[in-house]
């Protein structure tokens, strides 16, 4: 157990983007993957699950061991149910143990340890028939540490006070001296009660009481109205508003006995307790090993529980390249959304490893990206996955670049963050990585953004070191042309239908590109004013008129000149820009008609020569 294999690396951005342990919205656990996944019954299990989730495995054998155990527990409902039932009563052994070895544990911590260890034999019994290798190993590792358990049971009472100082934590028959002192104390207290009765009878004061406080010890209290009946042998100690307090030599004699016993009892109880602490601490490493096994068993049972409830399937993991998932779902959205979730297939193989995903905003692009990442990640922690069938390669890293983390950085522009994250991905991704890019180039001017998005996709698809499995979601539908130019690139789109100027999201991912992004319809859904929407539609029509060149190709893409390391943009943007800026510059009021005519001709020439 001292050495673990390498782990799948999830950089901080990806941990956050995939909402593994906290949601992006509220930053809380709710809405995160762990919230859906955590059906553990112990705190140890909950912490273990989190550590698995943040450090998935990259070792086929180790993943296989976990998956086989989850499978067995998923099918053996009875074994799983009983394991979860039994581990419910196991307290946080790890933290109990640390309090004990650090000497800060109270009597109830020991009882907690004892009752938790008492559950271990039944967990051991439940796993005795298990077949999966890891379950067999856990069965062996579940050590009930009987010595510690018995020791606590015979030393402490079953329901001790919170702190040792409250007294009474140590059982009878542990120390003869302690038992004697306790008898003496009880006897002393009975004697005090006898004295009270006797004095009431002797003096005829019915309200006479024997009481105790820290300053005077034991005393007799008599109310003011009965002062006449107080006998001479009472010694006055204190006068209060409504009463007087007295002592007698006899009272003081018993007081001494009782308090002496009390002091000695405290000292003895502490000695016995400290010795127990010392003895239990000696079993620390065995208790830790048991805690470890309980935590792992708890996580496996939790994963099996989730797999059954949420209808997950066992992934087949291999060390090749291809990733093929049928009817993949997003585990968190599926669990939390009211609407039925639309499952989608994912295929990334040697021939199609870069997917350009287009379609309307809100159409489900991000969901498709994230669910693909989550399925890979779940499989590599040893969990079943939300799909009807999953054939998955071992992935060394998952990279994400999605818009949602933009506001998490202070003092850096959205675009700078976006480029920073993109650079990180391009520098660190390998052929075995999974890269998910959402709306690259969104944070800057349209043409800058589009050119960057284009070249990033091209770089990933062609760079010899990279050629990683990539899903590239974009609203630049111009990018769909990449598929025609580069091997390995394939177009998908999330489907939507326009219906009476409105938009209906079908959320099905289909092959082929989307020709538009439905941005205006989405804006309408968001409640932008109707005149504004109409104006936007006019502008769109005008823009689209100029979108294609004479051969019907999108003007912006052009031919790559990768040989020189440069990429030429179409001149179209330049020419139009020049015309516009020239128009801005001139002042028609100060021009002669001839000058105006000459300018017009020149502008026309500029435009003509560029197309």
* CA quadruple 591, 593, 594, 597: dihedral sign: positive
Secondary structure E strands in 165-278: 209-213, 217-223, 235-239, 243-247
Q: Is 566 helix (H, G, I), strand (E, B) or coil?
A: strand
Report in angstroms how near the CB of residue 39 gets to another protein at its nearest.
Answer: 13
Report in angstroms how near the CB of residue 430 gets to another protein at its nearest.
Answer: 5
Nearer to another protein, 397 or 555 (CB): 397
φ/ψ of 329, rounded to 5, equals -130, 165
Q: Which helix (H) or strand (E) holds 447?
A: helix 446-462
Nearer to another protein, 53 or 489 (CB): 53
Which tokens go with 216? 């005077």
CA–CA gap between residue 359 and residue 491 (Å, rounded):
11
Following DSSP, what letter does each residue of 118-148 receive, concatenated?
HHHHHHHHHTTT--SHHHHHHHHH----HHH
Nearer to another protein, 440 or 482 (CB): 440
Which tokens go with 1? 């157990």
φ/ψ of 421, rounded to 5, equals -65, -40
CA–CA gap between residue 388 and residue 364 (Å, rounded):
19
Report in angstroms how near the CB of residue 236 gets to another protein at its nearest.
Answer: 27
Nearer to another protein, 215 or 550 (CB): 215
Q: Is 218 helix (H, G, I), strand (E, B) or coil?
A: strand
Report in angstroms how near the CB of residue 369 gets to another protein at its nearest.
Answer: 20
- Residues of this chain that interact with another protein (CB under 8 A) are 1-7, 9-13, 15-16, 22, 27, 38, 43-44, 46-47, 50-51, 54-55, 58, 92, 94-95, 97-104, 281-282, 284-285, 287-288, 291, 396, 405, 408-410, 423-424, 427-428, 430, 465
Report in angstroms how near the CB of residue 405 gets to another protein at its nearest.
Answer: 7
Closest CA to 48 of 92, 99, 111, 114: 92
φ/ψ of 415, rounded to 5, equals -65, -40
Closest CA to 296 of 70, 25, 482, 48: 48
Nearer to another protein, 22 or 477 (CB): 22
Nearer to another protein, 173 or 285 (CB): 285
Query: With 0-12 CB in 10 A as exposed, 13-18 as middle and 19+ as buried, what is 1?
Result: exposed
Nearer to another protein, 212 or 409 (CB): 409
Report in angstroms how near the CB of residue 102 gets to another protein at its nearest.
Answer: 5
Nearer to another protein, 342 or 468 (CB): 468
Report in angstroms how near the CB of residue 339 gets to another protein at its nearest.
Answer: 28
Cβ atoms of 506 and 495 within 8 Å: the answer is yes
Nearer to another protein, 266 or 606 (CB): 266
Report in angstroms how near the CB of residue 288 gets to another protein at its nearest.
Answer: 6
Report in angstroms how near the CB of residue 62 gets to another protein at its nearest.
Answer: 13
**Pairing verdict, β 217-223 and 209-213:** antiparallel
362: left (phi over 0), alpha (psi -120 to 50) or beta: left
Report in angstroms how near the CB of residue 205 gets to another protein at its nearest.
Answer: 36
Nearer to another protein, 94 or 478 (CB): 94
Cβ atoms of 461 and 486 within 8 Å: the answer is yes
Secondary structure E strands in 465-556: 469-473, 488-499, 502-511
Report in angstroms how near the CB of residue 207 gets to another protein at its nearest.
Answer: 33
Cβ atoms of 373 and 362 within 8 Å: the answer is no
Nearer to another protein, 59 or 248 (CB): 59
Cβ atoms of 247 and 220 within 8 Å: the answer is yes
């Amino acid at each position: 157990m001292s050495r673990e294999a390498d782990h799948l690396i999830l950089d901080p951005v990806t941990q956050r983007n995939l909402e593994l342990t906290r949601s992006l919205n509220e930053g809380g656990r709710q809405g995160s993957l762990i919230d859906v996944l955590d059906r553990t019954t112990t705190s140890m299990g909950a912490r273990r699950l989190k550590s698995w989730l943040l450090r998935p495995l990259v070792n086929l054998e180790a993943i296989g061991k976990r998956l086989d155990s989850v499978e067995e527990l998923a099918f053996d409902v009875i074994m799983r149910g009983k394991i979860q039932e039994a581990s419910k009563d196991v307290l946080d052994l790890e933290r109990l143990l640390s309090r004990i070895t650090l000497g800060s544990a109270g009597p109830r911590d020991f009882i907690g340890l004892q009752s938790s260890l008492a559950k271990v034999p039944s967990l051991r019994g439940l796993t005795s028939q298990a077949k999966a290798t890891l379950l067999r190993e856990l069965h062996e590792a579940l050590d009930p540490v009987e010595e510690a358990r018995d020791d606590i049971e015979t030393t402490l009472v079953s329901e001790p006070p919170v702190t040792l100082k409250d007294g009474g934590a140590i059982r009878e028959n542990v120390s003869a001296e302690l038992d004697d002192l306790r008898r003496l104390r009880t006897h002393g207290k009975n004697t005090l009660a006898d004295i009270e009765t006797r004095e009431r009878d002797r003096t005829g004061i019915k309200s006479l009481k024997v009481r105790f406080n820290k300053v005077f010890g034991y005393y007799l209290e008599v109310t003011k109205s009965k002062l006449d009946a107080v006998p001479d042998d009472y010694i006055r100690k204190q006068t209060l508003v409504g009463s007087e307090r007295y002592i007698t030599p006899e009272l003081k004699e018993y007081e001494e006995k009782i308090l002496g016993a009390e002091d000695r009892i405290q000292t003895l109880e502490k000695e016995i307790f400290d010795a127990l602490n010392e003895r239990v601490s000696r079993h620390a490493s065995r208790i830790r090993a048991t805690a470890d096994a309980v935590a792992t068993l708890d996580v496996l049972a939790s994963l099996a529980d989730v797999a059954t409830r949420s209808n997950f399937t066992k992934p087949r993991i291999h060390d090749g390249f291809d990733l093929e998932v049928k009817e993949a779902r997003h585990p968190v959205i599926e669990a939390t959304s009211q609407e039925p979730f639309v499952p989608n297939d994912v295929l990334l193989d040697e021939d199609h490893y870069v997917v350009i995903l287009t379609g309307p905003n809100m159409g489900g692009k991000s969901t498709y990206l994230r669910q693909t990442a989550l399925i890979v990640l779940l499989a590599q922690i040893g969990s079943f996955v939300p799909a009807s069938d999953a054939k998955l390669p071992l992935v060394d890293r998952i990279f994400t670049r999605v818009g949602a983390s933009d506001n998490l950085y202070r003092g850096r522009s959205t675009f700078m963050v976006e480029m920073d994250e993109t650079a990180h991905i391009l520098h660190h991704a390998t052929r075995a990585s999974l890269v998910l890019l959402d709306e690259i180039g969104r944070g800057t001017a349209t043409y800058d953004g589009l050119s960057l998005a284009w070249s990033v996709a091209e770089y990933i698809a062609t760079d010899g070191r990279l050629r990683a499995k990539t899903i590239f979601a974009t609203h630049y539908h111009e990018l769909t042309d990449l598929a025609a130019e580069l091997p390995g690139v394939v177009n998908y789109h999330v489907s939507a239908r326009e219906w009476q100027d409105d938009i209906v999201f079908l959320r099905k991912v289909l092959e082929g590109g989307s020709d538009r992004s439905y941005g205006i319809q989405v804006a309408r859904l968001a409640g932008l004013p109707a005149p504004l929407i109409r104006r936007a539609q006019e502008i769109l029509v005008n823009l689209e008129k100029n979108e294609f060149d004479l051969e019907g190709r999108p003007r912006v893409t052009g031919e790559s000149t990768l040989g020189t390391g440069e990429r030429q943009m179409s001149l179209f943007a330049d020419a139009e820009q020049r015309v516009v800026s020239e128009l801005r510059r001139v002042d028609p009021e100060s021009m002669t008609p001839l000058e105006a005519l000459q300018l017009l001709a020149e502008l026309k020439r500029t435009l003509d020569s560029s197309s």
